[in-house]
Amino acid sequence: MPYIQRNPERIAQLDSYDINGDSVPSVNKVIGYRELTNYTQGRLLGGGYVKEYTYTVGYPPADEMIEYLEYLQYNENFACLSDTLPKDLDRFKMYVKGVRLANESKQAGYIIIVEVNWDFRGYVITVSRIKGKLARLSDADNITAAVCSPAFKMIVGTANKG
């Protein structure tokens, strides 16, 4: 992914991560202001877009990230693509890689994927917009989502309800 940094002061203050007409609430809006230390954007094969936001916080951010991910699930209708959210996530407080949530794009035939990775120093939030379909299945205890996309092939995940 090519490194492009445009007006980092403005990007650091964002209330949302905007990607081709779609918008995802930012960490700043959900948790409060955090220092953005790196920002990249690029295109994916197959016509998708990706933006990556890196935050360095200097302490284990697990509680903040769980709060952020749960906000996206319960307030923004994102579906979980990882079986570690939200109940089992607490046991991975120091290091988590690849927790993914997905939602339909405003444009038919596209989906938005938010991936969160963190360690004891900070976190990286990657927002992608790709061609694909999101299938939502649920029962009394679980939310299951499947993404079918040329970029990701097929991702399936299950999460216990909150």
**Spatial CA neighbour of 120 closest among 96, 88, 98:** 96
Whole-angstrom Cα distance, residue 43 to residue 120? 29
For residue 147, the model assigns a pLDDT of: 52
Domain ranges of the chain: 8-77+94-132
**Spatial CA neighbour of 90 closest among 69, 114, 75:** 69
For residue 66, the model assigns a pLDDT of: 83
For residue 83, the model assigns a pLDDT of: 53
Its pTM stands at 0.77
Pairing of strands 122-131, 110-118: antiparallel
pLDDT tens per residue, the chain (162 residues)?
A: 444 445 555 566 788 999 989 999 999 999 988 888 888 888 776 678 899 999 988 777 878 888 898 899 889 988 887 554 545 555 455 556 668 889 999 999 899 999 988 888 889 999 999 888 887 766 444 444 555 544 444 444 433 343
DSSP-derived secondary structure for the chain = -------HHHHHT-SEEEETTEEEE-HHHHT----EEEEEEEEETTTEEEEEEEEE-SS--HHHHHHHHHHHHHHH-PEE--TTSSGGGGGGTT-EEEEEEEEE-SSTTEEEEEEEEE-SSEEEEEEEEEE-EEEEEE-SSEEEEEEEETTTEEEEEEEE--
For residue 151, the model assigns a pLDDT of: 44
Contacts of 35 (CB under 8 A, 6+ apart): 12, 55, 56, 57
Partners of 128 in the β-ladder: 50, 113
For residue 53, the model assigns a pLDDT of: 92
